[in-house]
């Protein structure tokens, strides 16, 4: 044993075994409870040797016997009664989070309780319990014969815990019931007497480890309970608390009732109740009621910390959490002692009882004992055990004698076992009664003292190991929690669209597989503070879906489209083909899908001012502003020295049409071939030569080039503000040309000149000045979808100016 | 536990490859993978911490550290009660990154967010580039927790989350018995003798 281990009482079990075999120790032989007396099926193991006993594993009674008195067992039968905190989910299910938490907690604690042996070591200890109704008597009579009856010759069986209860330490008269002066005084007397007995030098031999210390006393009128522990255990006694419950006059006075002390002894919880219950032979019901009242009313305020600790040790139901108090039933072991006042059944005449008692015919009386009858009927002390009554009734004696009271001046009483000791243990095998006797001395009272020595199993918890078990259980639950989260996998975390061209759509797909244990509902979600899932140049389909486990992967397509608006932004460097899609797995994680691509730069969707800067094909011009700045240091200052007069692309298109023949019928009216238009655009961007294409394709490339410009050739700001008439048309035309920015002026003049050429072939191409003006306006000043009437007026004026330009030579 | 379970959202932030996911995996599953794949997205896990007085359940968002996803981080730290900002003690840039995360959180996160700075990879002492004292002084200046951790050998990982759990405000637990009244033991009428 480690140093400093308290000196433990040697449980006399080994001796018992020996004497059972050889009858060498009659003192215990006589006291061994008969087999019928709830002998544990698997008695606690004997200590390996003298001194401190560490027992492991603890006694096991096979399938644990559920003690109905056990609050843990009671709690497990509880129903989660309330519906008030139910919440209805959207699909109509009812969820009560609090109930779920409690059910889960119950699981955890149940598991912990089933594993207490892993974090608890067990020791055997001896407990002495004594009770005596002193009938307001008591002077200096020795208590040795009673208190120290079981100590053995050399005190080797001196108990570890001593609980002694007295009744009627004062007369139960009205004064004493109301004023407790006398009670205090007599309590002090008895405590001192006990102290002197337990710590008499002849017993301790001045060894402090053999001495006892009073942990707590509690009195109420005639009741007194005192609790001593052997000195070495003092450090392991915690949360000692007492309470008293009066159930006497008016159901509350202290002439009857109970006083109780509870403590944590090592990590076992013990409670001792000393009761004086209703008197008179016929009042069985009153006694039963007194028991229930004391049991249910006694409360020990030990604080939340102690309650929590007891719960974690497996001594108490988790249902008590949050409470700072304990009841009698909330203990590992409860010892109930006192003048319980149960008599011999009234069917037996007083004289017969007296005769049988005097003869020691206790077998006959025992069956008629009211407490035995009530217990067997389940009307009182449910869950408690009592040793067989193997001693003569303890009441009512002529004080100072060993004779039952029969003096003629006194009322004749039928002798009875008023004075009793019972116990209840959550784990029945943890308490074993070794003796249950009465003492012949002292005999100054009309009751004889009764005592019992019990061996009990003490729990000693290794808190660190205990916590690791809690941790393990929670980790297990956590694993399931995390495991039951849905999971999916994506075949890619990046979609690279490569080079994407003007007016082109590219589609890539993404496969989503359900790799989790449950249905996976997924959807694309916008980024924080955004309302769309992605940039405008991208679309996702479908944006949501669900997969059951094992289902074929879902396919999501992502399409990138460069329309003219996007091209304008990309060309201006105000947008890049980069984005992140966020795929949310509902009730799970989020997945990112990176989208990237490069814009194959096009002359379409650019501004005239930019286009005139670049003498080289547009594909060779960097999109990145910084790179471009290195390429074209004077980009921001367009001047004749560093710029073309008009975009070379415009010139190439016009040149091509000119060569193909402006006399082609329905020029600018027929559509071109879409594929040819794309190839023409590519040739413009790359600088490669045109192929052989229809003039209509060139015409369409020409008009769509103009339309795509990020700033129209003719900005609306230069539209005429006044109505055009024959007088002002000349001036208004001049004003327009003056107001146009230089490159725009060049371009418009170039287009007008070209269209004048076209008009020369009007007989064949069926075009008129009005038609061409309309085409010019449509593409050089694309109309907004919504226009007010003023704007329509101005456009009409603009059209007149264009006609004027086409039919006159006024440039 | 039957003590009220306090739920808190916690977010892990920090530069790429500092060990955010490893810390979480160590904390939640007590496992370690030498070659953890980069987190592309945000992983969600839960783990419970037992304190003496209460139980704290962390709902953990482990975010992507790559720079290109940085702009998405506010989705996770908004509304978070706690943030673990992780750097790699062998990588000074990651410590600078951590500082900028602290600033961002202080500016844009919840005003009461509990921030913990975690110097991860503390097992790689020989390659240390960020001194403990320097990081600690920085943490003190900013009033945030600081621990050096090793997801690899589990050092300080639990402690990190426990320290955070302790700092988080917990409302007083509601009386347990109110919710589920426990039937009183059967009462009998009082009798006096």
- DSSP secondary structure letters along A302-341: --HHHHHHHHHTTSS-GGGTT--EEEGGGSSEEEEEEE--
Residues of A in contact with B47 (CB under 8 A): 478
CB contact under 8 A, B41 and A528: no
Give the other-Cβ count within 10 Å of A553's Cβ.
16
Q: Which domain holds residue A104?
A: 96-114+468-599
Residue A791 sits in a domain of what CATH number? 1.10.555.10
Could you identify the residue written with the tokens 């009007």?
A762
Q: How far is the alpha carbon of A404 from chain B, nearest alpha carbon, in Å?
A: 23
Helix (H, G, I), strand (E, B) or coil at A276: strand
User: Best-predicted range by mean pLDDT among A657-666, A782-791, B113-122?
Assistant: B113-122
pTM, to two decimals: 0.57
**pLDDT single digits (tens) B114-162:** 999 999 999 999 999 999 999 999 999 999 999 999 999 999 999 999 9
The verdict on A486 and A454 lying in the same domain is no
- pLDDT at residue A341 in the model: 96
For chain B, the first-to-last Cα distance in angstroms comes to 46
**pLDDT single digits (tens) A749-771:** 999 999 999 999 988 888 999 99
What is the 3-class SS of A691-757, one letter each residue? Answer: CCCCHHHHHHHHHHHHHHCCCCCCCHHHCCCCCCCCCCHHHHHHHHHHHCCHHHHHHHHHHHHHHHH
In a domain, A630, yes or no: no
CA–CA gap between residue A24 and residue A21 (Å, rounded):
8
**pLDDT single digits (tens) A699-733:** 999 999 999 998 999 999 999 988 888 889 988 99
Asked if residue A715 lies in contact with residue A781, where contact means CB atoms within 8 angstroms, the answer is yes
Q: How far is the alpha carbon of B142 from chain A, nearest alpha carbon, in Å?
A: 27
Size of interface A-B (CB pairs under 8 A): 136
In a domain, A540, yes or no: yes
Whether ipTM exceeds 0.90: no
Look up residue A754 and give its two tokens: 């070209």
In this predicted structure, which of A24-38, A679-693, B59-73, B155-169 has the lowest mean pLDDT? A24-38
For chain A, the first-to-last Cα distance in angstroms comes to 119
User: Best-predicted range by mean pLDDT among A10-14, A236-240, A690-694?
Assistant: A236-240
Which chain B residue has its CA at the smallest distance from A296's CA? B185
| CA-wise closest residue to B82 among B190, B183, B6 | B6
Residue A478 sits in a domain of what CATH number? 2.60.40.10
**pLDDT single digits (tens) B103-115:** 999 999 888 999 9
Look up residue B187 and give its two tokens: 């009462």
pLDDT at A1 over 80: no
User: Which of B2, B46, B192 is the closest to A105 by Cβ?
Assistant: B2
Interface test mutation site (partner B, options A87, A286, A322, max chain B beta carbons within 10 A): A322
Which chain A residue has its CA at the smallest distance from B182's CA? A78
Look up residue A574 and give its two tokens: 């105000």
Band (pLDDT 50/70/90 cuts) for residue B20 is very high
In a domain, A57, yes or no: no
- Residue ending a domain, among A461, A493, A528, is A461
CA–CA gap between residue A399 and residue A71 (Å, rounded):
42
Interface of B with A (CB under 8 A): 1-3, 5, 28-30, 40-48, 50, 64, 68-69, 71-72, 74-75, 78, 173, 175-177, 179-193
User: Which of B3, B29, B75 is the closest to A479 by Cβ?
Assistant: B29
Angle CA(A120)–CA(A123)–CA(A125) in degrees, nearest 5?
140
User: Which of B72, B75, B188 is the closest to A289 by Cβ?
Assistant: B188
Parallel, antiparallel, or unpaired for β A520-525 and A544-547? antiparallel
**pLDDT single digits (tens) A442-481:** 999 999 999 999 999 999 999 889 888 887 887 788 778 7
In a domain, A333, yes or no: yes
- pLDDT at residue A444 in the model: 94
Q: What is the mean pLDDT of chain A?
A: 85
The verdict on A104 and A132 lying in the same domain is no
CB contact under 8 A, B190 and A289: yes
User: Which of B42, B45, B193 is the closest to A280 by Cβ?
Assistant: B193
The verdict on A217 and A105 lying in the same domain is no
- pLDDT at residue B186 in the model: 39
Parallel, antiparallel, or unpaired for β A333-339 and A419-425? antiparallel
The verdict on A449 and A556 lying in the same domain is no
Q: For residue A114, report the phi and psi dihedrals to the nearest 5 degrees.
A: -75, -10
pLDDT at A253 over 90: no
CB contact under 8 A, B42 and A98: no
CB contact under 8 A, B193 and A283: yes
Interface test mutation site (partner A, options B42, B50, B188, max chain A beta carbons within 10 A): B188
**pLDDT single digits (tens) B161-186:** 999 999 998 764 433 333 333 333 33
- pLDDT at residue B171 in the model: 66
The verdict on A174 and A236 lying in the same domain is yes
CB contact under 8 A, B192 and A248: yes
- Residue ending a domain, among A583, A599, A615, is A599
The verdict on A499 and A561 lying in the same domain is yes
pLDDT at A233 over 90: yes
> Is the minimum CB–CB distance between A286 and chain B shorter than 8 Å?
yes
Q: What is the share, in percent, of chain A residues with pLDDT greater than 90?
A: 54
Residues of B in contact with A108 (CB under 8 A): 1
Q: How far is the alpha carbon of A319 from chain B, nearest alpha carbon, in Å?
A: 8
- pLDDT at residue B187 in the model: 40
- pLDDT at residue A431 in the model: 96
Which chain B residue has its CA at the smallest distance from A312's CA? B1
- pLDDT at residue A12 in the model: 53
- pLDDT at residue A637 in the model: 62
- Residue ending a domain, among A443, A461, A479, is A461
Query: Length of chain A in residues, anyone?
Result: 811
The verdict on A300 and A396 lying in the same domain is yes
- pLDDT at residue A615 in the model: 84
Question: Which residue would you say has higher pLDDT here, B185 or A509?
Answer: A509
In a domain, A763, yes or no: yes
In a domain, A237, yes or no: yes
User: Which of B3, B179, B181 is the closest to A98 by Cβ?
Assistant: B179
- pLDDT at residue A617 in the model: 87
| CA-wise closest residue to A705 among A689, A691, A687, A684 | A684
| CA-wise closest residue to A456 among A299, A228, A266, A239 | A266
The verdict on A543 and A398 lying in the same domain is no
Residue A325 sits in a domain of what CATH number? 3.60.10.10
Asked if residue B73 lies in contact with residue A623, where contact means CB atoms within 8 angstroms, the answer is no
In a domain, A225, yes or no: yes
In a domain, A542, yes or no: yes
pLDDT at A496 over 70: yes
Output DSSP code: residue A397: B
Which chain B residue has its CA at the smallest distance from A246's CA? B192
Helix (H, G, I), strand (E, B) or coil at A440: coil
Asked if residue A604 lies in contact with residue A503, where contact means CB atoms within 8 angstroms, the answer is yes
Ramachandran region, residue A450 (left: φ > 0; alpha: ψ -120 to 50; beta: rest): beta
Please, what's the b/e burial string for B153-183 (b: 16 or more CB within 10 A of its CB; e: otherwise)?
A: ebbbbbebbebbbbebebeebeebeebbeee
Q: How far is the alpha carbon of B127 from chain A, nearest alpha carbon, in Å?
A: 32
Give the other-Cβ count within 10 Å of A181's Cβ.
10
Q: How large is the average pLDDT for residues A113-128?
A: 93
pLDDT at B12 over 90: yes
Asked if residue A311 lies in contact with residue A109, where contact means CB atoms within 8 angstroms, the answer is yes
User: Which of A80, A283, A482 is the closest to B28 by Cβ?
Assistant: A482
pLDDT at A203 over 80: yes
- pLDDT at residue A23 in the model: 35
The verdict on A478 and A409 lying in the same domain is no
Question: Which residue would you say has higher pLDDT here, A129 or A85?
Answer: A129
**pLDDT single digits (tens) A541-571:** 999 999 998 899 999 999 999 998 899 898 8
The verdict on A581 and A480 lying in the same domain is yes
The verdict on A358 and A243 lying in the same domain is yes
Look up residue B165 and give its two tokens: 């759990």
Look up residue A507 and give its two tokens: 């589609």
Band (pLDDT 50/70/90 cuts) for residue A161 is very high
Q: How many CA atoms lie within 13 A of A664 on its CB side?
A: 18
Say how many domains are in chain A. Answer: 3
Question: Which residue would you say has higher pLDDT here, A417 or B31?
Answer: A417
Strands (E), B64-171: 82-88, 114-120, 145-148
The verdict on A591 and A572 lying in the same domain is yes
């Amino acid at each position: 044993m480690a140093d400093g281990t308290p000196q433990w009482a040697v449980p006399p079990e080994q001796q018992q075994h020996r004497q059972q075999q050889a009858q060498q120790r009659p003192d215990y032989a006589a006291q061994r409870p008969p087999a019928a007396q709830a002998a544990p099926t698997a008695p606690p193991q004997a200590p390996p040797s003298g001194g401190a006993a560490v027992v492991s594993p603890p006694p096991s009674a096979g399938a644990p016997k559920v003690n109905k008195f056990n609050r843990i067992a009671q709690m497990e039968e509880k129903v989660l009664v309330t519906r008030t905190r139910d919440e209805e989910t959207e699909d109509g299910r009812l969820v009560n989070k609090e109930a779920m938490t409690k059910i889960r907690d119950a699981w955890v604690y149940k598991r912990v309780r089933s594993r207490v042996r892993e974090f608890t070591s067990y020791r055997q200890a001896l407990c002495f319990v004594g009770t005596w109704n002193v009938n307001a008597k008591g002077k200096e009579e020795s208590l040795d014969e009673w208190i120290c009856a079981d100590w053995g010759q050399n005190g080797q069986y001196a108990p570890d815990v001593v609980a002694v209860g007295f009744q009627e330490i004062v007369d139960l008269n009205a004064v004493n019931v109301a004023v407790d002066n006398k009670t205090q005084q007599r309590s002090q007397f008895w405590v001192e007497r006990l102290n002197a007995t337990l710590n008499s030098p002849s017993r301790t031999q001045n060894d402090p480890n053999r001495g006892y210390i009073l942990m707590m006393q509690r009195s109420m009128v005639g009741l007194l309970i005192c609790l001593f522990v052997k000195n070495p255990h003092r450090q392991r006694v915690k949360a000692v608390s007492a309470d008293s419950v009066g159930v006497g006059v008016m159901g509350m006075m202290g002439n009857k009732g109970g006083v109780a002390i509870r403590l944590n002894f090592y990590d076992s919880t013990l409670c001792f109740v000393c009761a004086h219950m209703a008197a008179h032979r016929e009042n069985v019901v009153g006694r039963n009621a007194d028991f229930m009242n004391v049991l249910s009313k006694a409360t020990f305020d030990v604080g939340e910390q102690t309650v929590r600790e007891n719960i974690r040790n497996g001594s108490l139901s988790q249902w008590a959490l949050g409470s700072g108090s304990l009841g009698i039933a909330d203990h590992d072991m409860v010892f109930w002692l006192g003048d319980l006042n149960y008599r011999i059944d009234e069917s037996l005449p007083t004289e017969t009882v007296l005769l049988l008692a005097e003869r020691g015919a206790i077998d006959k009386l025992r069956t008629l004992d009211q407490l035995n009858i009530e217990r067997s009927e389940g009307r009182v002390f449910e869950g408690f055990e009592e040793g067989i009554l193997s001693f003569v009734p303890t009441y009512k004696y002529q004080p100072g004698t060993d004779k039952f009271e029969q003096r003629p001046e006194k009322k004749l009483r039928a002798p009875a076992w008023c004075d009793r000791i019972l116990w209840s243990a959550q784990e029945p095998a943890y308490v074993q009664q070794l003796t249950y006797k009465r003492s012949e001395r002292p005999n100054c009272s009309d009751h004889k003292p009764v005592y019992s020595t019990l061996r009990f199993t003490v729990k000693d918890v290794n808190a660190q190991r205990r916590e690791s078990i809690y941790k393990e259980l929670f980790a297990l639950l956590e694993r399931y929690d995390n495991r039951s989260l849905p999971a999916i996998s994506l075949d890619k975390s990046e979609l690279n669209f490569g080079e994407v061209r003007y007016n082109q759509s590219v589609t890539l797909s993404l496969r989503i597989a359900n790799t989790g244990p449950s249905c996976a509902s997924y959807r694309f979600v916008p980024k924080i503070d955004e309302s769309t899932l992605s940039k405008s140049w991208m679309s996702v389909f479908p944006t949501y879906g669900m997969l059951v486990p094992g289902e074929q992967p879902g396919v999501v397509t992502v399409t990138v489209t460069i329309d003219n608006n996007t091209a304008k932004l990309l060309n201006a460097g105000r947008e890049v083909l980069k984005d992140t899609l966020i795929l949310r797995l509902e009730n799970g994680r989020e997945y990112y899908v990176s989208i990237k691509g490069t814009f194959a730069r096009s002359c379409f969707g650019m501004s005239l001012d930019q286009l005139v800067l670049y003498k080289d094909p547009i594909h060779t011009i960097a999109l990145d502003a910084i790179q471009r700045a290195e390429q074209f240091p004077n980009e921001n200052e367009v001047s004749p020295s560093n710029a073309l007069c008009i975009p070379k692309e415009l010139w190439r298109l016009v040149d091509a049409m000119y060569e193909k023949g402006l006399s082609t019928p329905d020029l600018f009216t027929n559509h071109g071939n879409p594929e040819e238009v794309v190839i023409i655009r590519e040739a413009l961007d790359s600088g490669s030569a045109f192929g052989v294409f229809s003039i209509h394709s060139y015409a369409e490339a020409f008009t769509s080039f103009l339309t795509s410009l990020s700033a129209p050739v003719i900005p609306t700001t230069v539209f005429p503000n006044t109505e055009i008439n024959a007088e002002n048309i000349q001036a208004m035309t001049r004003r327009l040309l003056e107001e146009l920015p230089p490159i725009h002026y060049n371009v418009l003049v170039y287009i007008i000149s070209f269209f004048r050429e076209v008009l020369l072939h009007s007989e064949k191409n069926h075009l008129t000045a009005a038609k061409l003006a309309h085409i010019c306006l449509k593409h050089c000043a694309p109309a907004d979808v919504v226009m007010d009437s003023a704007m329509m007026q101005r456009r009409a004026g603009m059209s007149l100016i264009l006609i004027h330009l086409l039919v006159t030579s006024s440039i | 536990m039957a003590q009220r379970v306090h739920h808190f959202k916690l977010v892990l932030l920090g530069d790429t490859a500092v060990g955010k996911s490893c810390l979480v995996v160590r904390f939640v599953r007590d496992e370690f993978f030498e070659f953890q794949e980069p987190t592309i997205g945000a992983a969600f896990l839960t783990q419970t911490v037992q304190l003496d007085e209460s139980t704290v359940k962390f709902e953990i968002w482990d975010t992507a550290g790559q720079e290109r996803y940085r702009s998405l981080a506010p989705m996770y730290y908004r509304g978070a009660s706690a943030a673990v900002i992780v750097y790699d003690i062998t990588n000074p840039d990651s410590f600078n990154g951590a500082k900028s995360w602290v600033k961002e959180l202080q500016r844009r996160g919840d005003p009461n967010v509990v921030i913990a700075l975690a110097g991860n990879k503390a097992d790689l002492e020989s390659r240390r580039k960020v001194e403990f004292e320097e990081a600690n002084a920085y943490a003190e200046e900013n009033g945030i927790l600081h621990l050096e951790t090793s997801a690899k050998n589990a050092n300080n990982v639990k402690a990190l989350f426990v320290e955070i759990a302790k700092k988080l405000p917990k409302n007083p637990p509601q009386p347990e018995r109110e919710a589920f009244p426990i039937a009183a033991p059967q009462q009998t009428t009082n009798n006096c003798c």
